[in-house]
């Protein structure tokens, strides 16, 4: 049986050759020459002043909040319908996450929900480009500016997407990227912080390396400079091995995104008349990076049964993403009804750049059969 995985990284000989070059160098660790080169390339590609290569998007969120001064007693409004890394990061700085509900059509954070949650302790907002679709940044930036709040773009899933002609990752004064194995470009693990503020970037870079800054530059100074620890920092550096892989992947963004777009377009064509699901909605002012392809099942369809049928026939699938406010770690009395509904009815089907047309058709055929088998009969 041909197994069709939910996700698959597009890594090959060019990436291996880049890794071999690092092996032959004298610096495979973090903040080395390949990492510095990657930062320059990221800043240029996204048209933003500063980029800091980091070990993950979660690290970027954490350090970004620290650099922005969020801390105990503060509230940060976070998008609810997402992997809960933004809320975790808020907790890491001893602030309190406040969950904003999603738009029903896109799954991205609802700007009106954000506006309604602003209170005297609110210091900022973390928006999320949900599974690759940018949020409504014109409205979000207006709200943040009007209330004197910081705005962070969590673009973990959205490398290659656009909003009103601008790239995801450059839609807020601070943005965070992920290069995890299921993203559009990947080094297995990794992330970056992008910002328009050089001082904020310097703060993040210092904290990412134990609070002593870049060691590679100091190692090349004649004499014996002894670094001083000026912050209680973290080990959030991205290795030069990962940076070298990402330099290759950056050059392949359009190639890989074109393949994902073709898969999404074919799914839309094959499933457009299926009454038991709703296809992803992309507003006309933005484009999708298609990290994931999530369909929304009709009420009454047994999602677990559909998933079991797909997996039994070798087709990967998943629940989509999380309604963060429902996770036990938060124990909140907040309600986000749209997010909670999407959490129950969304289904992620295979989406990656290596899918063949035959595989896409097979996924659609099996999905249609499973929907019929697991739909609750309508009352007559």
Closest CA to 135 of 96, 97, 164: 164
- pLDDT at position 31, please? 83
Cα–Cα dist 290/208, whole Å: 30
Cα–Cα dist 253/369, whole Å: 34
Q: Is 183 a catalytic residue?
A: yes
Cα–Cα dist 141/261, whole Å: 28
8 A C-beta contact, residue 168 and residue 161: yes
Strand partners, 98: 77
Phi and psi angles of residue 258, each rounded to the nearest 5 degrees, phi first: -60, -40
- pLDDT at position 220, please? 67
Phi and psi angles of residue 31, each rounded to the nearest 5 degrees, phi first: 55, 30
User: What region does 293 belong to: left with phi over 0, alpha with psi -120 to 50, or beta?
Assistant: beta
Beta-carbon count within 10 A of 146 CB: 10
Closest CA to 64 of 177, 179, 229, 160: 177
Cα–Cα dist 56/236, whole Å: 8
User: Per-residue pLDDT for the chain (380 aa), expressed as one digit of tens each?
Assistant: 789 999 999 999 999 999 999 999 988 888 889 999 999 999 999 999 999 999 999 999 999 999 999 999 999 999 999 999 999 999 999 999 999 999 999 999 999 999 999 999 999 999 999 999 999 999 999 999 999 999 999 999 999 999 999 999 999 999 999 999 999 999 999 999 999 999 999 999 999 999 987 666 666 677 777 888 988 999 999 999 999 999 999 999 999 999 999 999 999 999 999 999 999 999 999 999 999 999 999 999 999 999 999 999 999 999 999 999 999 999 899 999 999 999 999 999 999 999 999 999 999 999 999 999 999 876 44
Burial of residue 195, with CB atoms counted within 10 A of its CB: 0-12 exposed, 13-18 middle, 19 or more buried:
buried
Structure tokens at 144: 């943040």
- pLDDT at position 100, please? 98
- pLDDT at position 215, please? 67
Of 13, 36, 183, 272, the active-site residue reads: 183
* Dihedral sign, Cα of residue 296, residue 298, residue 300, residue 304: negative
Closest CA to 156 of 135, 130, 136: 130
- pLDDT at position 380, please? 47
Q: If you compute the radius of gyration of the chain from its CA atoms, what whole number of angstroms results?
A: 21
Structural domains in the chain, CATH included, are 13-250 (3.40.640.10), 254-373 (3.90.1150.10)
């Amino acid at each position: 049986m041909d197994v069709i995985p939910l996700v698959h990284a597009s890594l090959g000989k060019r990436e291996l050759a880049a890794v071999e070059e690092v092996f032959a160098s004298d610096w495979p660790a973090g903040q080395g020459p390949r990492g510095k080169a990657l930062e320059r390339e990221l800043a240029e590609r996204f048209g933003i002043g500063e980029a800091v290569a980091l070990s993950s998007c979660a690290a970027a969120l954490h350090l970004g909040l620290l650099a922005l001064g969020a801390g105990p007693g503060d509230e940060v409004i976070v998008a609810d319908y997402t992997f809960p890394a933004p809320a975790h990061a808020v907790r890491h700085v001893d602030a309190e996450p406040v969950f904003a509900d999603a738009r029903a059509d896109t799954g991205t954070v609802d700007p009106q929900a954000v506006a309604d949650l602003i209170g005297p302790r609110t210091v900022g907002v973390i928006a999320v480009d949900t599974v690759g679709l940018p949020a409504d940044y014109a409205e979000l930036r207006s709200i943040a500016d009007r209330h004197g709040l910081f705005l962070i773009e969590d673009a973990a899933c959205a490398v290659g997407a656009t909003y009103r002609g601008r790239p995801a990752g450059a839609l807020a004064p601070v943005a965070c990227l992920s290069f995890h194995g299921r993203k559009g470009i990947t080094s297995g693990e990794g992330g970056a912080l992008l910002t328009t503020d050089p001082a904020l970037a310097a703060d993040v870079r210092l904290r990412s390396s134990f609070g002593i800054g870049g060691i590679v530059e100091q190692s090349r100074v004649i004499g014996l400079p002894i670094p001083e620890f000026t912050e209680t920092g973290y080990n959030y550096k991205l290795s030069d091995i990962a940076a070298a892989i990402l330099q290759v992947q950056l050059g392949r963004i359009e190639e890989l995104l074109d393949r994902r777009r073709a898969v999404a377009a074919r799914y839309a064509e094959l499933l457009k008349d299926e009454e038991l699901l709703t296809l992803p909605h992309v507003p006309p002012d933005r484009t999708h990076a298609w990290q994931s392809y999530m369909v929304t099942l009709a009420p009454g369809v047994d999602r677990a049964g559909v998933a079991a049928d797909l997996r039994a026939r070798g087709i990967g699938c998943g629940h989509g993403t999380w309604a963060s406010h429902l996770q036990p770690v938060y124990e909140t009395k907040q309600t986000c009804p749209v997010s909670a509904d999407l959490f129950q009815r969304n289904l992620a089907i295979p989406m990656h750049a290596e899918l063949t047309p035959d595989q896409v058709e097979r996924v659609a055929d099996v999905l249609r059969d499973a929907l019929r088998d697991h739909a609750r009969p309508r009352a007559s």
